[in-house]
Structure 1
Amino acid sequence: MNKTLLLLLLSVSLFAQKSFKIASPTDQISIQVSQGADRALKYQVFYKAKEVIAASDLGLTLKKPALELRKFQILGVDSTIVDGTWKPVWGEVKEIRNNYKELTLHLKESGVLMDVIFRVFDDGIGFRYFFPSQDNFNHFIVDNEWSSFTMTGDHNAFWIPGDYDTNEYTYQRTKISEIDALAAAAKEKDIAVTSLMGKNFVQTPLMLKSVDGLYVNVHEAALVNYPAMHLKLEGLEFTSALVPDAVGNKAYAQTPFNTPWRTVVVSNKAEQILASKLILNLNEPSKIKDSTWIKPQKFMGMWWEMHVGKANWPLAGGKHGANTENVKRYIDFAGKHGFDGVLVEGWNTGWEDWFGNWKEEVFDFVTPYADYQIDTLTKYAASKGLKLIMHHETSSSVTNYERRMDAAYQFMVDKGINTVKTGYVGKIIPRGEHHDSQWMVNHYNRVAEKAANYHLMVDSHESVHPTGLHRTYPNWMAAEAARGSEFNNAPTLGINAEHTTILPFTRLMGGPMDYTPGLFHMNLNQFDSTRTTKVRSTLAKQLALYVTLYSPLQMVADLPENYEPKLDAFQFIKDVAVDWDDTKIITAEPGEFVTIARKAKNKDTWFIGSITNATARNMSFDLDFLDPDKTYEALLYRDADDADFEKNPEAYIVEKRLVTAKSKMTFRLQRGGGCAISLRRLN
């Protein structure tokens, strides 16, 4: 090729390329969108001018009509700036700033109009696709989405295997190039239902850390009428992998229609990843006009004794835990210590034969077992100043639950019960659907919406990963959607010491988790001498989890008899708040340690939780977030000097200190340990 021709081709290429750039309000983050000569769009993300997401694809493939929407004619470009604040019904802070710049590309491909909308915040970016109402294009089926996230290096990754039906895996910590989802999943023997996607598939939220210390989190926001997004890895590129339905389709849509937001949160400080409110800001405001009935709660659960072999869910077998006298015992203890409710599992008929049988008609959600006198118990609970919490295990027979929701929710209202824990154990009915498919995503949202009509609060288990929808439906207060505390009793892998230091950077990015902390008896052979499982945590760490793993519904998970000998440590569980005016991420590193301070709603009391992995470490930090010139009484619930999550997990010390905003807090976290602190301002 001669030099003249080469220069001419370069000129044509540069002339044909179009590029658009938009920066965040303080220029921390920027996006560049480019269109090459082939009309394909790619985007890049920069943090302080350093490339974080290399050139990555945009677009969709439709199955009906059969169209590739990947090479576009750009019809126009719009931009706008938004800066406002809003107050959550409950949350980690009392007010949230929503400040971003928006870039919208108006596109056309094969006669179809589509927008790509980018929002750039100072802590990250979000983008989505929007199909406006238009002539000759109304209904369509999504086959694939090509949104990709190309990394700039072989980062450290915190991930779980891509799976259509469960997110209860142990988190892996590897290089991107070392990801092997099938090998990781092969170690798991304790998950009820799995539907693995392949060797190179992972789930979101995905946490990454570059060699030069940049933290990158990839997830999604506002998951509505669309399947969950997992990620397929090829080289250093992660591409959206949508969950299919029974016939292989991904999403059924009708214009006007928008996809969920694809999100990237980025910072050079791990603490700022945890402080981000980007995902919440990308969700719609609350649809509940009067939210005065929505109340954060701390509750006991007649639940753990089934996991440790003391009782069982079915009436058959002679170990039925949800009987009137046993539940009264929980009500007595919860009432004595000022809690808000008691969750009861196994109260209703149908538990005997459903698991593993893919059975359609299991529960009616209104018929108690004969030994469970629900009217007696609701009145007894009310006399103690608390309420029962309903449990609806759907057995994943979701069509059955949909038919019965109105009757079940009216039953709750009639009984004076205002909170329901839903469960989705097993393979989904309609058969062929998955926990993370579009049909099920719509179901979870329908539950939140319908429950709101009855003034009911929802805590969902085995549901899709949260994406900030608790802003839109603040009655959907918590979800499990990850490996929760019940896996302490799983015989194969259980819960390792680093798990709870990873969860804030992964699962909790999308919303509160009902992890069920507060276990005090760590050797789980208490009622069955053949059990060898143990809780891999010190007692002080169990206390600290009430602060580090945020939820407005916090369970007090252990048995009353396990708390009675340790009421001095139990005092922290009684005192700790579940709703907050302010949150300070003091120090954090995924997989290593997390220290968070939170100020109780409408009070001058702060609570601090600090946890570590299997490495003991000294912690030291300033208390400069306290009111100046005021003195506080600090109660430390810390690991004893000889505490160890494997050898001596229940050893703790409670000590008192006087501190001010000029004080430095110091303590030692033992292996698998923690420290919980309450700070009460003195008059």
Structure 2
Amino acid sequence: MKRIAFIGLLFLGFQVTAQSVQSPSKQITLNFSLSKNGNPTYEVSYKNKPIVLNSRLGVKLKSGGDLTADFSIDSVRQRTINETWKPVLGEQSNIKDNYNELTIALSQKTTGRRINIIFKAFDEGVAFRYDFPKQAKLDYFIISDEMSEFNLTGDHKTFWIPGDFDSQEYAYNETKLSEINTEKIDLNNGIGLKSIAGKHVIQSPLMMKSTDGLYLNIFEAAVVNYPIMHLDLVPNEFKLKSRLVPNAIGDKAYLQAPCVSPWRTIMISDDARDIVSSKMILNLNEPSKIEDTSWIKPMKYVGVWWEMHVGKSTWDYAGSQNAQNAADGQLKPTGKHGATTENTKRYIDFAAKNGFDGVLVEGWNVGWEDWFGNWKEDVFDFTTPYPDFDLKAVNDYAKSKGIKMIMHHETSGSVANYERHLDRALELMKKYGYPAAKSGYVGRIIPRGEFHDGQTLVNHFNFVARRFADYKLMVNSHESSRPTGYSRTYPNYIAAEAARGTEFNGWSNGNPPMHETILPFTRLLGGPMDYTPGIFEIKMNHYDPKKTEQVHTTLAKQLALYVTMYSPLQMAADLPENYDRYSDAFQFIKDVAVDWQDSKYLEAEPGDYLTVARKDKHSEKWFLGAITDENARRTKVSLAFLTPGKKYRAIIYQDGKKAHWQNNPKSYEIIAKTVTYKDFIQLNMAAGGGTAISFEPIN
């Protein structure tokens, strides 16, 4: 279905200084105006209540003046879009894209330069971007700053992480806007590289809640050939300013007209479910540029990974201290290397036995011994295996078992080296039938002086997705800039990490129980996350009695995360032997789908709880995941999402009566019952706990 209505109007600059656009529901209104000095500004209201007060717009240029003032309006154009599109992989089979658009064409009186500001009003929020048309007086130019402001109405409750140009791997802080201070957070948090930009600099997406119960989210969409936007809080005010990540010499973006900036987005609702279920970020990205997407498949996988995080084995073959640099220059094995042919075959057997699609192997290739922390450029060639990893033998064995191997490309932050070797690495994947790779960007970036969130790296991450597409391969990036919906344009960009994931529970202070209740309101708005759930052996003293680290959830919550944390690429992250000990609970991971026909967000409150029901894309099965923070929770949910007239066998995986994330995390119980769409189910979640349910139709 597609319906587009156009209305074109032309105005002279001295006749018009204000325009407005409303969402299709008319609940959200955005007003645009020019000040007496020709400064472009905007404001936003929701149900006639001010949300964003008068806020500046514009960009600063490195030379030739700024595009911030002295404007007049040349023309105004409005149009309405109402259409539906089908994602290749997603939370639902069809996504509605319905908005009203307002384009303001501006010209600068003294310079004659032109810029368009485009606004879109959706039912869940508004978006705006800068459009630089082709023109003689603005060809190549450098952005030195962006003046986009978000002037808020009060001291909202805020879920924030520091404005670190190199990492999003922080636990969230829950404070008022006025209490944001990056100097007061615990930096002994396991993050190896920190580039925090200032005391009041924070990252987007920024999730907020006003004192009168409105939910707000500031983010961005379609970041292409542009740096990531962080946010500057103006002290003693409730105002946020855009903060673009610089390159090695302090410039923000190199552009040539015609071109556009990313979309700046503001989501607004009095129902938190509208925020967490929004597809606005995806809608603001271009449609898929891949014509044949038949090779893009969801995957459920296991892998040689968690055993390194818990200390059972290592990524390196020879040890990082002296073996590689021995006098004879030979690699001498330590005996702890995880990525061996035999160990990989063990994971392949486990995957085949339990119906998984793939096996990831980290540490298979030479170079792991001495790179970390040394800012070394030529670490990996992405094609040479260690002596104890036989690429052909592993591939042949996996093929005989019907299992696909997932390649691992740790770049060591040296993106220049990765790009030099990329085609050879992808050719190797094609040769051995690898459908996907997990890439990593641990450490300081090379070219030196660049940040993970700068324009250079944004272009690199997007380029890698495009190059993988050329080879009909999928990519899952870790330690990359956070996604902003580019997976719509290149759906082979199947997942990313770009947030504090599960591994931090293995060797740091971990992720607090509320962490997973915030990520769906922040990181996951931009695209699927490879969070690597499914850890059953919760406490790390299982591997070493001296260890005190643990996963900050119950076992039942680990199951629920497969539903609440959307990704078409889901890992059963624990060790095979741990799943064998809890085979009845493991059944849910074996059963749960990863690609969805429909999703229903039943309950939501950022930082507190989330309950989601999803329907498998290829069957009539439904799955439900419910999670809570550090507080135990009882709730009753309606099963009205089930098909009327059908009976379902519900298998409920829930916390035991005395379960607790810290004191008794592995206590769970499994209950089976027959239900219909008329029924309600009582969910009993322990502190840091959750519930997972599978619903299978009874024929």
User: TM-score interval w.r.t. the shorter chain?
Assistant: over 0.9
Alpha-carbon offset, residue 26 of structure 1: 1.7
Q: CA deviation at 1:641?
A: 0.3
Query: Which residue pairs with 1:35 in the alignment?
Result: 34
Cα distance in structure 2, aligned partners of 1:69 and 1:38: 10
8 Å CA contact 1:161–1:182 kept in 2: the answer is no
Give the match for residue 23 of structure 2.
Answer: 24
Among residues 415, 431, 441, which one is paired with 1:398 in the alignment? 415
Q: Distance in 1 between matches of 2:346 and 2:187?
A: 39
Conservation of the 8 A alpha-carbon contact between 1:103 and 1:119: yes
Q: 1:342 aligns with which of 359, 369, 378?
A: 359
* 2-structure distance, mates of 1:318, 1:352: 14
Partner Cα distance (2:632, 2:523) in 1: 24
Shift of 1:66: 3.7
> What's the counterpart of residue 450 of structure 1?
467
Q: TM-score, normalised by structure 2?
A: 0.94
Question: Do residues 498 (structure 1) and 500 (structure 2) align?
Answer: no
Q: Which residue of 2 aligns with 1:245?
A: 247
The number of residues matched between the two structures is 667
Supply the distance in 2 between the matched residues of 1:540 and 1:296 (Cα, whole angstroms): 24
1:403-422 correspondence runs (5 A): 403-422=420-439
Q: What amino acid is the match of 1:637? A: Y
- Does residue 606 of structure 1 match 2:612? no
- 8 Å CA contact 2:17, 2:73 repeated in 1: no
Q: Distance in 2 between matches of 1:483 and 1:301?
A: 19
1:510 to 526, 547, 553: 526
Aligned to 1:308: 310
Alignment deviations for residues 286-345 of structure 1 (CA, whole Å, 9 cap, x no partner): 010000000010000110000000000000132100001111111110110000000000
Does structure 2 conserve the Cα–Cα contact (< 8 Å) formed by 1:623 and 1:660? yes
Instruction: Name the SS of the counterpart of 2:428 in structure 1.
Output: helix
Q: How far 1:532 sits from its partner (Å)?
A: 1.2
CA distance in structure 1 between the aligned counterparts of 2:503 and 2:112, rounded to whole angstroms: 52
Following TM superposition, by how much is the alpha carbon of 1:68 offset from its aligned partner in structure 2, in angstroms? Answer: 4.3
Q: Does 1:201 align with 2:218?
A: no
C-alpha displacement at 1:111, in angstroms?
A: 2.1
Structure 2: how far apart are the matches of 1:605 and 1:653? 21
- Please name the residue that 1:8 is paired with: none
Q: 2:294 aligns with which of 292, 304, 323?
A: 292
1:522 is aligned, of 538, 550, 556, to 538
Q: Distance in 2 between matches of 1:275 and 1:446?
A: 28
Name the CA distance, whole Å, in 2 between partners of 1:188 and 1:439: 29
Report deviation, 1:525: 2.2
Structure 1 residues 68 and 119, CA, compared in 2 at 3 Å: closer, same or farther?
Answer: closer
Does residue 618 (structure 1) correspond to residue 634 (structure 2)? The answer is yes
Name the amino acid aligned to 2:257. Answer: T
The 3-state SS of whatever aligns with 1:572 is helix
Which amino acid is 1:42 matched to?
T
Find out whether 1:156 has 2:145 as its counterpart: no
1:330 aligned residue: 347
Does the C-alpha gap of structure 1 residues 372 and 192 become closer, same or farther in structure 2, counting only changes over 3 Å? same
Contact 1:17 1:36 in 2 (8 A): no
Give the aligned residue type for 1:216: L
| RMSD over aligned Cα atoms | 1.0
The whole-number CA distance in structure 2 between the counterparts of 1:35 and 1:446 is 38
- Alpha-carbon shift at residue 374 of structure 1 (Å): 1.0
Q: Deviation digits for residues 571-619 of structure 1, max 9, x if unmatched?
A: 0000000000000000010000000000001210000000000100102
Is 1:119 equivalent to 2:120 in the alignment? yes
Correspondence for 1:649: 665
Answer yes or no: is the 8 Å Cα contact 1:348–1:363 preserved in 2: yes
Contact conserved, 1:41 with 1:71, CA < 8 A, in 2? no
Q: Tell me if the contact between 1:308 and 1:526 (Cα under 8 Å) persists in the aligned partners.
A: no
CA distance in 2, matches of 1:413, 1:202: 41
Letter in 1 for 2:255: A
Secondary structure, aligned partner of 2:342: helix
- Please state if 1:572 is matched with 2:624: no
1:17 offset after TM fit, Å? 7.8
Per-residue deviation at 1:69? Answer: 2.9
Among 571, 586, 595, the alignment partner of 2:611 is 595
Contact 1:170 1:495 (8 Å CA) reproduced: yes
1:666 to 678, 682, 693: 682
Report SS of the residue matched to 1:318. coil
Q: Which amino acid letter does the alignment assign opposite residue 29 of structure 1?
A: I
The runs of 4+ residues in structure 1 deviating greater than 6 Å are: none
What is the 5 A alignment of 1:89-488? 89-109=88-108, 110-184=111-185, 186-234=186-234, 235-316=237-318, 317-488=334-505
- Whole-angstrom distance in 2 between the partners of 1:189 and 1:96: 38
The residue type paired with residue 145 of structure 1 is E
Cα drift, residue 535 of structure 1: 1.1
> Match of 1:644, as an amino acid?
H
Give the match's secondary structure for 2:582: helix
Deviation, 1:71, is: 3.5
- The letter for the 2-side match of 1:169 is Y
Partner deviation per Cα, 1:353-380 (whole Å, 9 max, x = no partner): 1001100100000000000011111111
In 1: Cα distance, 2:347 partner to 2:183 partner? 42
Whole-Å separation in 1 of the counterparts to 2:58 and 2:158:
26
Aligned mates of 1:559, 1:616 — CA distance in 2: 28
User: Could you say which residue in structure 1 is the equivalent of 2:323?
Assistant: none
Deviation digits for residues 104-124 of structure 1 (CA, Å, limit 9, x no counterpart): 010112321100000101111
Cα offset, 1:189, TM superposition:
3.7
Is the 2:131–2:259 Cα contact (8 Å) retained in structure 1? yes
Deviation at 1:65, TM superposition (A): 3.0
CA deviation map 1:605-653 (0-9, x unaligned): 0000000001001020111111112111000000000111011100100
Contact 1:595 1:609 in 2 (8 A): yes
Look up the equivalent residue of 1:28 and give its one-letter code: Q
| Residue of structure 2 in register with 1:9 after alignment | none
Aligned counterparts of 1:143 and 1:125: Cα–Cα separation in 2: 25
Q: Which SS does the other structure have where 1:65 is aligned? A: coil
Query: In structure 2, what is the Cα distance between the partners aligned to 1:236 and 1:192?
Result: 32
SS in 1 for 2:408: strand
So what's the TM-score if we normalise by structure 1?
0.97
Q: Which runs of 5+ in 1 are unaligned?
A: 1-14
- SS class of match (1:199): coil
Distance 2:17 2:636 in 1: 51
- The amino acid that maps onto 2:308 is M
Query: Matched residue of 2:682: which SS?
Result: strand
How far does the alpha carbon of each residue in 1:5-38 deviate from its partner, in whole angstroms, 9 at most, with x for none?
xxxxxxxxxx998221111112021100111212
Secondary structure of 1:470's aligned partner = helix
For residue 67 of structure 1, give the secondary structure of its aligned residue in structure 2.
Answer: coil
Tell me, what secondary structure is at the counterpart of 2:286? coil
Q: Are the counterparts in 2 of residues 215 and 269 from structure 1 also a CA contact under 8 Å?
A: yes
CA distance in 1, matches of 2:517, 2:342: 38
- C-alpha displacement at 1:74, in angstroms? 1.2
Secondary structure of residue in 2 paired with 1:668:
strand
How far apart are the structure 2 equivalents of 1:572 and 1:82? 41
Cα distance in 2 between the residues matched to 1:625 and 1:236: 40
The secondary structure found in structure 2 opposite 1:263 is strand
Could you list the per-position Cα deviations for residues 28-52 of structure 1 after superposition, in whole angstroms to 9, with x for gaps in the alignment? 2110011121211111111111111
Residue 107 of structure 1 aligns with an amino acid whose one-letter code is L
Q: Cα–Cα, structure 1 residues 144 and 594, in superposed 2: closer, same or farther, change >3 Å?
A: same
Please tell me whether the aligned partners of residues 40 and 68 of structure 2 are also in contact (alpha carbons under 8 angstroms): no
**CA–CA separation in structure 1 for the residues paired with 2:239 and 2:66:** 24
Residue equivalent to 1:56: 55
